[in-house]
Amino acid sequence: MNTIYPVKTGTTLGHLIVLVTKRNLNKEEKTFNHITMAKFIFVTGGVTSSLGKGIIAASLAKLLQSRGLRATIQKFDPYINVDPGTLNPYEHGECFVTEDGAETDLDLGHYERFLNIYTSQANNVTTGRIYQTVINKEREGAYLGKTVQVIPHITDEIKRRMLLLGEDDKYDVVITEIGGTVGDIEGLPFIEAVRQLQWELPEEDCLVVHLTLIPYLKAAKELKTKPTQHSVRLLSENGVHPDILVCRTEEPLNDEIKRKIAQFCNVKQEAVIESVDASTIYEVPMMMLREKLDIITLKKMNITSYHEPELNRWKVFLDKLKYPKSKVTIGLIGKYIELQDAYKSILESFIHAGAMNECKVQVVNVHSEFIDDENVAEKLDGLDGLLVAPGFGFRGIEGKITAVKYARERDLPFFGICLGMQMAVIEYGRNILGLAEAHSTEMDPETQHPVINMMEEQKKIKAMGGTMRLGAFPCEIKKGSLAAEIYDSTLISERHRHRYEFNNDYLEQYENAGMIASGLNPETGLVEIIELSTHPFFIGVQYHPELKSTVEAPAPLFVHFIAAAKNYNEKRATARNPVLHSEMI
Ligand code: GLN
């Protein structure tokens, strides 16, 4: 659909007409004319990748939310994959899963953790998805014989999706993070869509925040503004003019530098925001508050109805995070440990749970591929808890099974997530039930004892991408179980991403031997939680509790796991030095 706007905005008269129009149009008319009551902020990045656009977008959204505005964030990624579901974690880090089962970019995890709201399928769009929609429409004859082109057809579809969350009056502000760096060939249609929207929307309804780098040259002892100037010029060559520049820097920017950036980049000096390196990403909203990023945004968008920022819970969390009273060491047993982003949500959940326990959580990465019976004691020595990570495929699983056995036999707190739970089931089958061949059919399709089996509905699926058991499902918890105590509830909902499950043909055998299924899906009977009643903390979950942990609502399983690790640590300390410990008490 082509955009038909009453007038070119930017003029006072134009504004007036648009605002009057905005109030009077019905929903169809608003959609047709790209008119919504929401305001739109676009966050672009320049100079280099990894500057933290997601964190800046999430911090700005947090500040606006703290002032009473309803804010959401979405990510537009320029790659051709329809979604990141088929990407190897080494390529793109963790695949985040939303409530409605979308496999998305890990930045959506940050958005949820900061804002404490759910995102959805609509919050992550890729070039692949845009083209897929346009090509499907072309095949249906929707373009009436026209030549289908990047402009206007692809850019129209990008714009439609950019504005989508602004419909329905659910949000006052929709922030769109554009993945990649300005100047990337594949990002051009997204930047062009922003250009068109900057022109089409009322001036005060559209804001562009550009994140850049101000490097410090040690040899010259100087901060350099040239890369930022080039990056803004590149953006301007594409027709987009930034309203605010957020400058990542290792050193504070003095007024002179800010003035220089403002002058060369054609923004007001107050719109040059400094973002120095922070000790934790959770500090960034407070830093942006000090830099008045929210105030300048409100001013530029002419938002007048807001209150003082309410960030008390956030500040309490930050204080606990910065001044812990104890420390535990947790082993993260996985096969993608070279790349920290592969386990992003798990690592962030540890941070939330640690703060809740006023305890610093030091995570030690242990590569599961290199754990064996001979070295396991040495590799896992000194740990207060063991988390066996999710994953796919054969590599590293025997090391995971060995690690589970080690934790089970030593009363070391154990927490298995998805594949981690499946490994705990295999370990128990092999070493306690005497099923020497126990395995998952994912790794050994011919196994004599398929204690982990492909889910029935998965067997007929051939296509990859979006075809696993995905998203939120309910789970009924057995009264009196450790899980019921942890959740303080007997009905929960958690997010999933898997194809295999506990094979219920073996359930009775397992329960008789002490491993109980304390959580089941109420409709299908799929086992969602296993635990050992004879162990202080041994729990495995088929779902991903890390996907729902936020600063303001840490995942209960992580909170209790860290509490169990603290207990274990104290017991170890007493055992090492009983006299000293009794004196301390
Ligand atoms: N590979 C396992 C399955 O598909 C576990 C998946 C996971 O850990 N997310 O069931």
Q: How far apart are CA 437 and CA 430, in angstroms?
A: 7
Q: Which residue has the higher pLDDT, 10 or 572?
A: 572
Confidence category of residue 581, pLDDT binned at 50, 70, 90: low
Would you put residue 383 in left (φ > 0), alpha (ψ -120 to 50) or beta?
Answer: beta
452 lines ligand 1 (CB under 6 A): no
What is the distance of C-alpha 511 from the center of its chain?
Answer: 35
pLDDT of 11 strictly over 70:
no
pLDDT of residue 340: 81
Confidence band (pLDDT; 50, 70, 90) for 92? Answer: confident
What's the pLDDT at 339?
A: 85
Ligand 1 centroid – CA 496 distance (Å):
9
Q: Are the C-beta atoms of residues 232 and 210 closer than 8 Å to each other?
A: yes
Mean pLDDT value across residues 556-565: 98
Pocket test for ligand 1, best of 397, 457, 497 (most atoms within 8 A of CB): 497
CA-to-CA distance for 291 and 293, rounded, in angstroms?
6
Residue in the block written with tokens 């051009």: 188
Percent of the chain with pLDDT over 70: 92
| 399 Cβ neighbours under 8 A, 6+ residues apart | 333, 367, 368, 369, 370, 371, 372
Over residues 327-337, the pLDDT tens digits come to: 999 999 998 88
> Quick one: 409 exposed, middle or buried, by C-beta within 10 A (0-12, 13-18, 19+)?
exposed
The Å distance, Cα 505 to ligand 1 centre, comes to: 20
**Closest to 223 (Cα-Cα) out of 253, 192, 266:** 253
Asked whether 535 lines ligand 1 (CB < 6 A), one says: no
Atom of ligand 1 nearest to the CA of 501: 10
> Mind listing the pLDDT tens digit for each residue in 95-139?
999 999 999 999 999 999 999 999 999 999 999 999 999 999 999
Cα(421) to centroid of ligand 1, in Å? 9
Q: Give me the pLDDT at residue 9, please.
A: 39
**CA dihedral (112, 115, 118, 119) positive or negative:** negative
Q: Whose CA is nearest to atom 8 of ligand 1?
A: 390
Active site residues: 418, 544, 546
